[in-house]
Structures are given as C-alpha cells and as structure tokens.
Structure 1
C-alpha cells in the first residue's frame, strides 16, 4: 500500500517538475513577460488612461502571484507528504525485521518520537481478562510501564476516548484534553495530556489496540487531519507487526507450554528437570519435586462432562500460577497429573508448600460446586528431593510418583514425603 502511494506522489512531482523551480526566479521571469504582454495589449487596445493601464496590470499580477503561491504551497505539502511516506516505508521495513513483541513496541514508540517528531506516545493493547476483552496500557513515554499497565478500559464507549477509538475503529484528535468530556480525566492527569490523537491498531477489521500520540509541546504545532492520514497508515503497518509478533510468540510458547493451563508441558519439564538436577549437583544445592494428580478425576469428568473437566484442570493451573515463586517450574505432566520443580528448596520446605497446594485445591470454588452438592475436589501429592539419594533426574520423578500412589492407597487428599 505504502509503495503504491510513494509511486503516485513521486510520479506527480516528476510530471510537475516545472513547478518545483525556485519560486522567486520563476516568478520574476514570468512577471517581466506579463508586464511586456500587458502593455502591448493595452497599447493595442488604445487605452490611454495610465491609472486604468496600471490597474489592469496589477490585477493580472495579483491573480498570477496568488495562483503561484497556492501552487508553491501545494507542492511543498506534497513534498513533505512524500518524505513522510518514505519515512513510514522505511520504518515498516524495520518493524518487519523482528518478531519480538517488546522490540516491535519499542520501535513503534521510537519512530513516532524520533522520526515523526511527536513529543510522546503510548500503546494500549487488547488482552483477555476474566473472560472478556479489555484495553490495557502496555508501553509509553513519560510514565512507568508498570503504572501504565494498571490502566485497563472495558470496550465500552462510556469509558472514554481510548475505548471509543477501538469500538468505532476510527481516529480522533483531542485539542483540549482537560475540557473534553470524551477523555478519562484520571488518564489525562497520569499521562499529562493536552493535545493528542488516538488511532486504532487494526488488522483485517480486528482491533489489536490503540495508539496515542501527543503533539509537540515545544513547537506548539497542532495535529492536523493530514497528520492523521499519515498516522493511520503508520498504525496499520504497526498493527501488522504487532499481530505477527504475537502470533510468533504464541507458536513459540506452545512449543514449551500447555495450552489449556498455561503451565509448562511434559517435554519442557523433562528438559528443565535434567538441567536443574545437573546444576544442583554441580553447586551442591537443594532441589525438590512435587508430583500430584486430581483424586477421582474420571468421576468428575463423567458426571459433569469433559468441558467441566477442562475447567477443573484449567483452575489447577491458575492455583499453581498464583502460589508459586518465579524460580519454580510448574508443569502439566499429562492428563490430570501435575509436577512442580523447586530449585533451592529442601524437603521440609517442599512439604509445607505441597500442603498449601492441597488445602487450596480442597477449598477452591470450582464452577461445578455452584450447582452440585458433590464433595470437594482434592489432590494427592508425593514429593522427592536430592536428600533421597537419587542417582539421576529420573529417580526424582520415580520417587515422587511412588509416594503419590502411597497417598492414594492411604485415603487420598494427603501429602507423602517419605
């Protein structure tokens, strides 16, 4: 699309190259010719009144100069637009050079401020939260990203200009943010907004987010409709880059994570356990493992259906994500079986954590409990550690697995550590 516009503008300027001559030289030459022509015409018509002659001459000059000035500024505008198109084309080529979402977003901000000369810019992206899509601040300038990410807006026109831009899929120019009823005043104060524009990030009619650009406060140059046209082209190309990066990250994530729970998958777990085992042996440090599964899962699956079974497994993933430290490696081992690698944790510390997991699951409000009097869901857990004198990383799994089935045989809903 951009290359086609570039060709059109370039062709237009080339075909009108006469108009790109220095304005003063071109005007002076033509004025002399016009002067001679006017006086010849007036003498031919035998007009003797000098005032009338000069009046007609000045009128000719006025119309010519006005037309010339208009043409000059039109060409200047075209030249400026052409240079902007070339810059956007160069920027979008750079955006295609990376598939890392963080790098893509950084490049978008950098080019808006350094190349397109906006004072600041911010990006809001659509994310799924609590079974609905919302707009969340992702990255910006002049505010901490951690603070910006706390700004979340429902896709509802009543929540303000950010949401309206996404819903209506069109850009807006805000001239006075503090006095514009469409603007969220909390956001205006947080981002120190005065004059700014919002542009939707759209790919194939799907909104990925909203771009916010702030007018340059030093030059006091306002954002125009022409600027908005260029920003829409830039945002469309940026949206494609964002979508490609998200798609790539999703594919990459699926290669080592379980899609249903967001936990690591079996293959990654095996690789990580081998890596942590070798590291613990080399550094003479602690390493422990929790291995557990859901008690009587087949009964719940048969009673409430496979969709509810998936909801239960998904909820286990949520529980583990919320309880574990960053150094832990939680994985869906297979089916209703889960495992947690715990670098640096002793057997006693691991036992305490396993008990917390067991109690949390037992008291968790699963969806099925809202419509059924069935007993609470429970898990049985087995733990192992390097203190069990294991010979390799596979022994850690075998020991924990044996203790898990000891917990099963002895009544379920318990932790066995040895």
Structure 2
C-alpha cells in the first residue's frame, strides 16, 4: 500500500460515502474532498500526491476527466455513480474506470491496491526505460571515445577519460584499472582517476590479493563495510577506504584485469545496480585495455633494441631532439651521458658473443636501477649507451655519472656461469652550456667519452 499517497473525492452538492461498512476515520488512505465547481471553475494550483481521484460520472465524464488531469497530475481518475447506466458504459468504453459508490470496503480496498500496484509498476517501468536510455547514451559515448582513439597515447587518454566518467556516474571517490599479465602472473595498476590521496599505499598486500581473487574467480566483489586507512606521512591527512566494488575484466575466457571503485560518496555504499553497470562495461573495457596493451607492445618493438630492451638509436634521437627544443623553449636544462664499455672487444674474443650479449643486456638493467623514471636510457650502438637526463644541470649529471661508474666497477656480471668485471668510460654534456642542438649534445658527450678512454678509462670527462 502506498501510504504517502492520498485519495481525492470531487463532489457537486454533498460529499459521497466511499464505503458502506467502514467509518471514514478508519479508511487507510488520507482523504481529501473538493467541490467540483471550485476545482473546475477557476485556475487551480496542481495538487500532486494523489493515488486516485473520484469524480461524478455523467455524459461529460471524459471532458471533466481531462480538466481534472491537469489539477491532479499523476492520479488515477475514477468516475462514480449510483447505478451503471448507458452514459457510464460509454465512459468505460472511453477508457475511464467507473464504480458505484458507496462500495463495500474489501472491494474498494483491493481496487485501490490494484491501482497502487499498477502505479508502482509504471514508475518502475519508466525508471527502467530512463535507465536503459541513459545506459545506451553512456555506452554510445564509450564506443565513440574508444573508436576515436588511434594512437597508443590517444587510447590511454580515452581510458583515463572513461574511468573518470564512470567514477562520476557512480559517485565513487576513486576508480582504478588493473592490468593482469597472465604470462608473468603479475598485476599492475594501469589507470587511476587520482582523486584519492595515498593510493600508492593501497596497491599491495590485502588489496592485491583481493583483486587477484576477483580476476581468478571471474566474479565481482562488493563490500560496503570495508575498512582500510591510508596513513599519509609527515602528519598529513589520512584517507579511509569505506566501500569497495571490484569487477573482473574478461574477454571470453581471457583474464585481462579488474576495475575497482572506492568510497561511494553517499556513504551508504555501492548497490548491486552499480555492480551490474560495471559488469556491462566490463567486456568493452577489457577489449579496450587489451588493445592498448597490444598497441603498446607493438609500439615498443619499434622503439626498443632487440638485445637490451632499451630504447634504440632512432627513438633516442627523436626524444633527444624534442627534449632539447623543450629545454630551450622553457629555459630548462638537459644533460646527456655518453657511455662506452672499456675493453669490451676482449670480452667477446675471450668468452664469445653469447656471453658478451648477456653482459650488454645486464648492463642496461644496471643503468635503469640507478636512474629516475623521467630519465631515458638507450643503446646507441655496439657497446655504447646514451642516457638523457631531463631538467638536470651539469653538476647533477656528474653525480649520476659517478654513481654509474662506481656501480659498474663493483658489479659482477654473470653469464654462462662466468663472472666478469667491467668498467665504463663516460662523457657528459649539457644544453645549453655546451651546445644548443641534439646532434651537438651527442658529439660533445661522445668526444668527452673518448678523452676519458684515452686518459685512463673507467673515468668521467666533461665536454668542452
């Protein structure tokens, strides 16, 4: 029974009796009476909140109902008479229900209950239609964003945009996408809205185990009583994970990753409708994420060296040229290290090219462990490497060069059960101190490296 709704009765001379076997005060719905000439004679403010409105039925019934529909929006209009005469039958044929009053209470109660149920069903149907239309627009927008992206960068940007829209739609404080590498059995965070501070503290231990469990089971996880505090360092404000919704991203039987939403803004938590929506998005999201990964791998093959997996000469020069131009435009500094392995030919001659190749590959990993994420390291050719240090002055580049020199000198390269000790000679150049072009940086640093080799090897020289 819809307790909040009222029953209205429009009358002419005297208010009619609705029930013959129950007192008006015992009627379960609130009753309000309106004189017909009052509600039809002059403009009246709309009266919402009525389940049904009874009005005198006669030949003018359909016309009267049309006027009353404006006064009582959303209400069922029911004609009443004392007998079922011909005009009543005509009115019934026009689609308006007509009942005799008074009625026995059980019949009237079930009559109104049926109206309430029909009203609720119509509201749910309208809600479902609005939701379906909304979902259609959302999915179409999703498809348009994905299809408009061609490059890897554009595809990444489109996924970032999509998870932001999804977070806004579900009123989630944070939305993240995790990529699952089935070959390596590893999990990595691919995308994040970045709204919730301290998420780097939430990527391990319990959360990783939870996400892996969702991916392996293929079933969503919803918990509105989740409690995990992201403790910020240096007395900064911490964040609390209150609610969590995690849905696997699958493409058929292939496990692609998972999408995770945190902290529903209304604090009530995520609903099952939210989980269903994310599940609906799961397949196209999985396809988009897989495509980005495939494009990344394809693009990586064109810019990386086959042996060392470092950037190749072609990419190095493109990046360096762009970085030098950026440096000059914004009055920044960029430094370059040119590195050559000392006596590497003897390694190949003595132990063979397989051992030499493994040493070259491992050398690249040694460099990577020392460098920042923003630094670029590549194989220039043979046993020569180039490292680009964005926004790094000459003295900072010298510090990094010395770290590399010491690390290599003390490192044991193991290949084919053979332990090898190696050293490197390094040349350092800086833009704008030594040159204003990418080609000039390479030449200056290369020349400095050769001076280091001529002097004593295992040393560092600065460009002149």
| Structure 2 length-normalised TM | 0.59
The structure with the greater share of residues assigned to helix is: 1
- Tell me if structure 1 keeps the 8 A contact 2:347–2:356: no
From 203, 211, 232, the equivalent of 1:162 is 211
Q: Tell me, in whole angstroms, the C-alpha distance in 2 between the residues paired with 1:279 and 1:126.
A: 32
Aligned-partner Cα distance in 2 for 1:349–1:229: 53
Task: Work out the CA distance in 2 between the residues paired with 1:132 and 1:301.
Answer: 39
1:171 to 220, 225, 228: 220
Alpha-carbon displacement from aligned partner over 1:158-185 (angstroms, at most 9, x marks no partner)? 965333222322212213223xxxxxx3
Unaligned runs of 5+ in 2: 1-68, 90-99, 233-237
SS in 2 for 1:376: strand
How far residue 122 of structure 1 moved from its aligned partner, in angstroms, is 2.2
User: What residue number does 1:226 align with?
Assistant: 273
Q: Which string of whole-angstrom CA distances, capped at 9 and with x for unpartnered residues, describes residues 65-100 of structure 1?
A: 365245324413421331332232133134313443
> 1:303 and 1:297 mapped to 2: Cα distance?
10
1:28 pairs with 2:28 = no
Cα gap change, 1:188/1:55 in structure 2, threshold over 3 Å: closer, same or farther?
A: farther
Q: Aligned to 2:77, what secondary structure does the other structure show?
A: helix
Is the aligned partner of 1:380 residue 2:424? yes
Q: Highest CA radius of gyration, 1 or 2?
A: 2
Match of 2:121 among 68, 71, 74: 71
Query: Number of paired residues?
Result: 362
Superposition CA RMSD, Å: 5.1
Q: Measured at CA, do residues 267 and 137 of structure 1 come closer, stay the same or move farther in structure 2, by a change above 3 Å?
A: closer
Q: Which residue of 2 aligns with 1:340?
A: 387
CA drift of 1:118 comes to 1.5
For 2:305, the equivalent position in structure 1 comes to 258
The counterpart of 2:107, out of the listed 53, 57, 60, is 57
1:293 aligns with 2:347: no
Aligned to 1:9: none
1:19-418 correspondence to structure 2 within 5 Å: 27-28=76-77, 54=104, 57-58=107-108, 61=111, 64-65=114-115, 67-69=117-119, 71-96=121-146, 97-98=148-149, 99-100=153-154, 103-114=157-168, 116-126=169-179, 133-136=186-189, 138-140=191-193, 142-144=195-197, 147-153=198-204, 160-178=209-227, 185-186=228-229, 191-204=239-252, 205-217=254-266, 220=268, 223-258=270-305, 261=308, 263-271=310-318, 289-293=337-341, 295-296=343-344, 299=347, 306=354, 312-324=359-371, 329-341=376-388, 353-366=400-413, 368=415, 372=417, 374-383=418-427, 385=429, 393=440, 395-396=443-444, 399=447, 402-403=450-451, 406=454
Kindly indicate which of the two structures has a greater share of residues assigned to strand. 2
Q: Against the structure 1 CA distance between its residues 177 and 367, is the aligned structure 2 distance closer, same or farther, given a 3 Å change threshold?
A: farther
| SS across alignment from 2:241 | coil
1:359-393 Cα shifts (integer Å, max 9, x gaps) = 2123235454xx94x4433033253658999x973
